[in-house]
Amino acid sequence: MSGKTHLAARRVGIMFHGNKIWISELFSLICTYAFLFFLLSLCLYVVLNETVIYRNSRKCAALRAEKVEMTQRIAQLEAQEKITLAMKSVVGGALSEKVFYQLVDLVYNNSKTYGYDPLLVLAVIQVESLFEPTALGRYKNMRLSGALGLMQVKPETAREVAENLGMPIPRDADLFNPDINIVVGIAYLTKCIGTFKSFKLGLLAYNQGPGVIKERLQENQPLSIAYYDRVLKKYYALRKTIEPLF
């Protein structure tokens, strides 16, 4: 008997619906289907696992964003609380509650926009108007200077600054509106500081006018720094009122 005949003789088959299937072929078929099932299961596991990872990553990102938002919110509330306490130490109950908290929000938002310590902005407002929204500026001889509102901005200056901000001021009386006055006032202060590249000179220019400061510097004349000293004095006084609490 040849090797081929001997190998054929050892093959075992089974009948399936009238057809003979070799055990070796059936085993190979089962192994093939088992391997395909394993691959399919593995792919399904990978897909499900990646889906879970993706969902968890999104949840983690959302939690991190929420944490950042909460941290920023806490910082905002602390800053607004400082502004509130500092203002109360100056105005007490002289302002209505609505105007008072309107000023708190305006000082906070604009200070954050331009990168100022809110207490410095409060110090400027205190020196300029004692937090009186309808204040009229006066010279030492009591004549009206033309400066209006909380930050004592003159209408012509306000319109020039407001034009760059895209915020028209049709009437002079609009400067009595805290929403307009504080935005324009802080923007003008920022412009003055940027022009002279000095906080001290910028603050003096805000009070005396950029032209006056430039002229004195060009002519090497001494500068009057009384306004600068007054603002800093108020600033440190305001800081002192809140230091025990923070």
207-214 mean pLDDT = 96
d(CA 135, CA 91): 14
* The predicted structure's pLDDT at residue 246: 65
Choose among 130, 137, 135, 108: nearest CA to 206: 137
- Judged against a pLDDT cut of 80, whether residue 16 lies above it is answered with no
Express each pLDDT in 173-191 by its tens digit.
999 999 999 999 999 999 9
Domains along the chain with CATH numbers? 95-245 (1.10.530.10)
Percent with pLDDT over 90 in the chain? 77
**5-14, 24-33, 149-158: range with highest mean pLDDT:** 149-158
Q: Residue 140 pLDDT more than 90?
A: no
Distance CA 69, CA 56 (A): 19
Whether the pLDDT of residue 45 is over 60: the answer is yes
